[in-house]
Amino acid sequence: MRATGLAVDGSAAGARPDPLAAVLERIADAATLAGLDDGLHQMIAMPERVLEVAVPVRRDDGRIEVLRGWRVHHDTSRGPGKGGVRFHPLVDAREVTALAAEMTVKCAVVDIPFGGAKGGVAVDPGTLSLGELERLTRRYTYDVASLLGPERDVPAPDVNTDGRVMAWIMDTMSMLRGQAVPGVVTGKPLAIGGSHGHVGATSTGVVQCVGAIFARLGLDVAGARAVVQGYGKVGAPLVYLLTSLGMRVVAVEDVSGGVYNPAGLDPAALSAHVGRAGAVVGFAGGDVLAPGELFRLDCELAVPAALDGAITAEVAEHLGARVVVEAANGPTVPEADDVLDRRDVVVVPDVLANAGGVTASYFEWVQARQGYPWEPDLVASRLHASMERAFEATWERAGQLGVSLRRGAVVLGIERVAEATRLRGLFP
């Protein structure tokens, strides 16, 4: 349960862009901009603990399969660890650690009293039956239970996990404790202590950032063209929300392929198609988009809402959008930042743009601890106010330093984490 076995120097990158190297590079840059001394920088950059577990799961045919799982606490100086659990075949220790570090920065940027954590299991959930998924979730929860708790670390949905999975985590933790523990996870169904407004909160925050950045840049939202990569929990509501702002979502892509319609895709028809077919490909309301074309399309807004590493330096060189608002975690590699800066493409970074989800999680955690559910309007207005404050603070910090919004956001987050770390001092 210690971080010492894990290289955190950014080495060991494989063919795929290394997400941990990217986050550490950005934290190091922010530490320099913030004038942090080396010790404080190291305290913030190194994950507090990395727990790797073997998760044996009995398949429906009786076979036992052993999967790898992780839960990482990156930094808990501002509060309990917070961050999702993802089930994906490419999950590994470096990715989970990178995502936990992103959560540290993100929670600080939106100024909620949480640190950064993340979890994952290397598995393709599409290959599991419902029973297998439940057994995997419960065994993984048991294996990492020593790290979890309303005051320690609070998981939430992430890639390929949802309210149902959160309900199993909550139930497993409650069975272990002998009492209902609703504050141990967020993103739960309403019937067991979930919050109004949690579903769709990430997308709502992304769209608020789109409105804010377009206003700052003097761009018209109405009639503007947008492309969205990803049609999952975040991407699908985004297509609706961007269209309802008056934008034309001209292209959408998921793992199956992409569709393109210069007049704007019909969100309801696309959603109905994906409901039936299970994927974007084959949608009759648009033309087939060739692989790699989405980000090349001439448009005002690009929203990556899938996995990390989507915008490489090469993609950035040919990006057709004027503005990128990052709904996914880590979609842009650091080399692409330089290209985008040179090409005057404005990026609203993930740690700000997608922070609506964890902000709604914070509200859910507060409600669970109060035992007092909030009205939907209260959740919506507080979410709006938090995102507005975070956007303003990021804009201001970036402006003071004369740097990109990404660098400004990471500095803002790191300064807040550093203040907490300094105030708490060094134990023993």
Distance CA 301, CA 240 (A): 15
CA distances from 112 to 55, 94, 365, 366 (A): 32, 25, 11, 11
| Least Cβ distance, residue 75 to ligand GLU (angstroms) | 14
Indicate whether 82 belongs to the interface with ligand GLU (CB under 6 A): yes
Q: Does the footprint of ligand GLU cover residue 158 (CB under 6 A)?
A: yes
**Nearest alpha carbon to residue 356 among 331, 311, 388:** 388
In the bound state with ligand GLU, the residue whose beta carbon lies nearer, of 243 and 361, is 361
Instruction: Confirm or reject binding of residue 76 to ligand GLU (CB under 6 A).
Output: no
Stretch that binds ligand GLU, among 17-25, 77-85, 133-141, 297-305 (CB under 6 A): 77-85
Site membership for ligand GLU, residue 120 (CB under 6 A): no
Return the range that interacts with ligand GLU (CB under 6 A); candidates 60-68, 79-87, 208-216, 263-271. Answer: 79-87
Please report whether residue 357 would count as binding ligand GLU according to CB under 6 A.
yes
Contact call for residues 121 and 71 (beta carbons, < 8 A): no
120 forms beta bridges with 70, 86
In the bound state with ligand GLU, the residue whose beta carbon lies nearer, of 250 and 412, is 412
Binding segment (CB under 6 A) for ligand GLU, from list 15-23, 135-143, 289-297, 355-363:
355-363
Token couple for 125:
């959930």
Out of 203, 361, 367, 404, point to the residue binding ligand GLU (CB under 6 A).
361
**Amino acid in the structure at residue 162:** D
Considering the complex, what minimum distance in angstroms separates the CB of residue 355 from ligand GLU?
7
Which is nearer to ligand GLU, 84 or 267 (by Cβ)? 84
For 28, 87, 311, the CA distances from 331, given in Å and listed in that order, are 19, 18, 6
Residue 106 catalytic?
Answer: no
Estimate to the nearest angstrom the gap between the alpha carbon of 231 and the chain centroid: 14
| Torsion of Cα atoms, 237 then 238 then 242 then 243, to 10° | -40
Based on C-alpha coordinates, what's the Rg of the chain? Answer: 21
Which residues contact ligand GLU by CB under 6 A? Answer: 82-84, 156, 158, 186, 329, 354, 357-358, 361
Catalytic positions, please? 118
